[in-house]
Amino acid sequence: MLKYTLKRLLAFIPMIIAISLIAFIISINAPGDPVESLTKAAGNEGGAEKQSGTAKKDKQKLRKKWGLDLPLFYFSVSDMASCDTLYKVQDRDQRENLERLIHEFGNWSAVNKYYKSLLELQKEQQNIDIESMCKQDTTLDKNKVNEALNQIGFNIVGLLEENKKELVNGKYEILDKLISAETYFPELISPYKLVVKKRESLSKKSTKWKTYIPSINWYGINSQYHWWVFGDLFHSKEAKRKGIIRGDFGVSYKDSQPIKNKIWDKVGISFTLSLLSILIAYLISLPIGIYSAYKKDSKIDKGISLVLFMLYSLPSFFVGTVLLLFFANPDTLLWFPESGIKDPINYNPDWSIFNWERIQHQLPYLVLPLITYTYSSFAFLSRIMRVGMIEIVSQDYIRTARAKGLSENKVILKHALRNSLLPIITVFAAIFPMCVGGSIIIEVIFSIPGMGTEMFNAILNYDYPMIIAFFTLIGFLTMIGYLVADLLYAVVDPRISYK
């Protein structure tokens, strides 16, 4: 048995790697720059502050803290022209723009010089002090100068981030007018000329052929993916993060709280509900399936089949909303409370799980969600149970049992039932992810403070680390569900070898 378990566990490793890879790919493709979002969450975002030195340093620190200054993966495939340290460029837009420039001209050193000259120009532009300028030359119109300076700054930032040809040309025209034609800022002229020169040399020194030769760069374990999964497990350096393998999913964009503190109790609620509903579904569907298989082709069987089929086709969000409409609506019947899972007034948090009073208080809140959770898997299970049972009943050993003169009850419940349980256990592996996935919709309908609602809110708030965390977690837990189903199967069916 142990050997079998270990074997199954080993078989899950590629799947776990695949899930983590998919989650990682999704997370790096999420729109926006993670550091910008994090600083926004910390509440120190401001238009003027964006360019200032301290904010930049803070961002650099954050970037280092979360390992965002590292290459993405253990290795990368790119072309010969591209620079293998490009990931060190901080700003996401600027990085993408640089990538594009390299792709266009195929000459990293020329692109680098052009980029540096632009940064130099930006630095000069930021160093200009209008106050002292106006003091020296009183004839200047302060507002006009200020506006010109801002225009220049805006266009330089645009040049750093923009790559559409027409837009870039337009920006150069504006800069030409502002810097060369008007003479407010003589100190900007020479750096600007350098920029123009470097831009010309870009197309002169273009080595486009380099982009056609592939190259593979190896980065080793100091990569974002490795940090994300394993954290500092293999590093002796300072701790950046612990890695999802030890439950560290980073911080939420919404309130920069660590995600792991936020999700564990939510996961608990959702999984309790899912498992409970699956249990109920099994309990109801077994007798129904057996009965209708026993009465095969009778009117009752046909009726049950039709009803089950209808239930199976009913979308759960529809059922949930209709239940709310009829049974938790002051206009119709207010039998059950509308949302939440506990009584906000009389609920005592110290109650233990099996405390009768607690159950009494929570039960009305759970009835409608549980019905919604249960009914679809229950219809599915009953149908499978029925088919399995019909197949078993036509087997030879059942005929033998009947021929022996055993009572019908004994034949069905002792000989047939055990064997017909096999397919229904395998189905657990299919139902479990279905239930977990469906929990998002059901929890949103009934406002259950579980994982689904949290994920829904995260989607509405563009809180990507949270979404990725839930995705990874659900993937891993589903894997555990599969493992449980496999083991159960091995326990029930002696034909499966443990070796």
Partner 1 sequence: MIINKENKTDIIKASILTLLYALFFSTIYIGERSVIYISIYCILSVNLSVLIASNIKSKKEVYFKSSLIKKLIVGFILGWIMWPGFGELVGPIIGFYLSSKKKVDATNFSFQKYAWNQFKKNKIALVSLYLLGTLILIARFAPLIANNQPLYAVYKGVTMYPAFEDKKTTVEIKNLQTGEIEKLQYDITDWRKLDLESVIFTPIPYSVDFFDKENNDYVSPNDKQEFTNHKGELIDSPTRFRHHLGTDGKGADLLSGLIHGTRIALKVGLISMGIASFIGIILGAFAGFFGDRDLKMRRVKYYMTLIGLFFGFFYGFGQRKYAISDGFSQSNSEGMIEFTISILIILGITYIFRLSSRLITNKWLSTEISVPIDSMVSRGIEILNSIPRLILIITVTAIMDRSLTIIMVIIGITGWTGIARFTRAEFLRIKSLEYVQASKSLGFSSIRTIFKHALPNALAPVFVSIAFGIASAILIESGLSFLGIGVPDDVVTWGSLLNLGRGNIEAWWLIIFPGIAIFITITIYNMIAEASRDALDPRLKS
For position 119 contacting partner 1 by CB under 8 A, the verdict is no
The DSSP letter of residue 337 is -
- The conformational region for residue 221 under phi > 0 = left, psi -120 to 50 = alpha, else beta, is alpha
- Toward partner 1, which CB reaches closer, 188 or 319? 319
Taking contact as CB under 8 A, which single stretch among the options 54-62, 186-194, 323-331, 356-364 is the one that binds partner 1?
A: 323-331
For position 310 contacting partner 1 by CB under 8 A, the verdict is yes
Please identify which residue in 2, 10, 14, 345 interacts with partner 1, judged by CB under 8 A: 14
For position 392 contacting partner 1 by CB under 8 A, the verdict is no
H-helix segments, 66-188 = 92-105, 108-127, 130-136, 142-161, 165-175
Query: b/e map of 171-183 (b: 16 or more CB within 10 Å)?
Result: bbeebeebbeeee
Please identify which residue in 68, 421, 424, 455 interacts with partner 1, judged by CB under 8 A: 455
What span, in angstroms and rounded, lies between the C-alpha atoms of 41 and 88?
A: 23
For position 290 contacting partner 1 by CB under 8 A, the verdict is no
For position 303 contacting partner 1 by CB under 8 A, the verdict is no
Least distance in angstroms from the C-beta of 317 to partner 1: 5
The torsion angles phi and psi of 77, rounded to 5 degrees, stand at: -110, 120
For position 437 contacting partner 1 by CB under 8 A, the verdict is yes
Tokens of 168: 């870039």
- Toward partner 1, which CB reaches closer, 448 or 468? 468
- Toward partner 1, which CB reaches closer, 316 or 419? 316
- Toward partner 1, which CB reaches closer, 351 or 471? 471
Least distance in angstroms from the C-beta of 493 to partner 1: 20
- Looking from the CA of 474 toward its CB, the CA atoms found within 13 Å total 24
For position 333 contacting partner 1 by CB under 8 A, the verdict is no
Tokens of 387: 């088919």
Taking contact as CB under 8 A, which single stretch among the options 176-184, 244-252, 399-407, 455-463 is the one that binds partner 1?
A: 455-463
Least distance in angstroms from the C-beta of 444 to partner 1: 6
Site for partner 1 in 252-281 (CB under 8 A): none
For position 389 contacting partner 1 by CB under 8 A, the verdict is no
The DSSP letter of residue 404 is T
Sign (positive or negative) of CA dihedral 114, 118, 124, 127: negative
For position 30 contacting partner 1 by CB under 8 A, the verdict is yes
Please identify which residue in 178, 278, 390, 440 interacts with partner 1, judged by CB under 8 A: 440
The torsion angles phi and psi of 240, rounded to 5 degrees, stand at: -95, -55
Whether the CB-CB separation of 388 and 424 falls below 8 Å is answered with yes
CA torsion 438-442-443-444 (nearest 10°) is 110
For position 92 contacting partner 1 by CB under 8 A, the verdict is no
What span, in angstroms and rounded, lies between the C-alpha atoms of 386 and 143?
A: 83
What span, in angstroms and rounded, lies between the C-alpha atoms of 435 and 444?
A: 14
For position 217 contacting partner 1 by CB under 8 A, the verdict is no
* Distance separating the N- and C-terminal Cα atoms of the chain: 8
For position 334 contacting partner 1 by CB under 8 A, the verdict is no
For position 153 contacting partner 1 by CB under 8 A, the verdict is no
- Toward partner 1, which CB reaches closer, 193 or 210? 210
Least distance in angstroms from the C-beta of 313 to partner 1: 4
Q: How many residues bind partner 1 (CB under 8 A)?
A: 56
Tokens of 290: 């057996």
- DSSP bridge pairs for 216: 77
Taking contact as CB under 8 A, which single stretch among the options 179-187, 395-403, 478-486, 491-499 is the one that binds partner 1?
A: 478-486
Helix orientation angle between 142-161 and 108-127, rounded to the nearest 10 degrees = 160
Residues 6+ apart with CB under 8 A from 96: 163
- DSSP bridge pairs for 218: 75
Tokens of 437: 């996935």
- Toward partner 1, which CB reaches closer, 286 or 445? 445
For position 434 contacting partner 1 by CB under 8 A, the verdict is yes
For position 479 contacting partner 1 by CB under 8 A, the verdict is yes
- Toward partner 1, which CB reaches closer, 290 or 485? 485
For position 293 contacting partner 1 by CB under 8 A, the verdict is no
Please identify which residue in 9, 18, 334, 496 interacts with partner 1, judged by CB under 8 A: 18
For position 394 contacting partner 1 by CB under 8 A, the verdict is no
Residue 448 C-alpha from the chain's centroid: 20
Residues 6+ apart with CB under 8 A from 67: 224, 227, 228, 240, 241
Tokens of 150: 């801002």
| Residues in contact with partner 1 by the rule CB under 8 A | 14-15, 18-19, 22-23, 26, 29-31, 77-79, 100, 103, 211-212, 214, 309-310, 312-315, 317-318, 321-322, 324-325, 329, 331, 433-434, 436-438, 440-441, 444-445, 455-456, 458-460, 464, 467-468, 470-471, 474-475, 478-479, 482
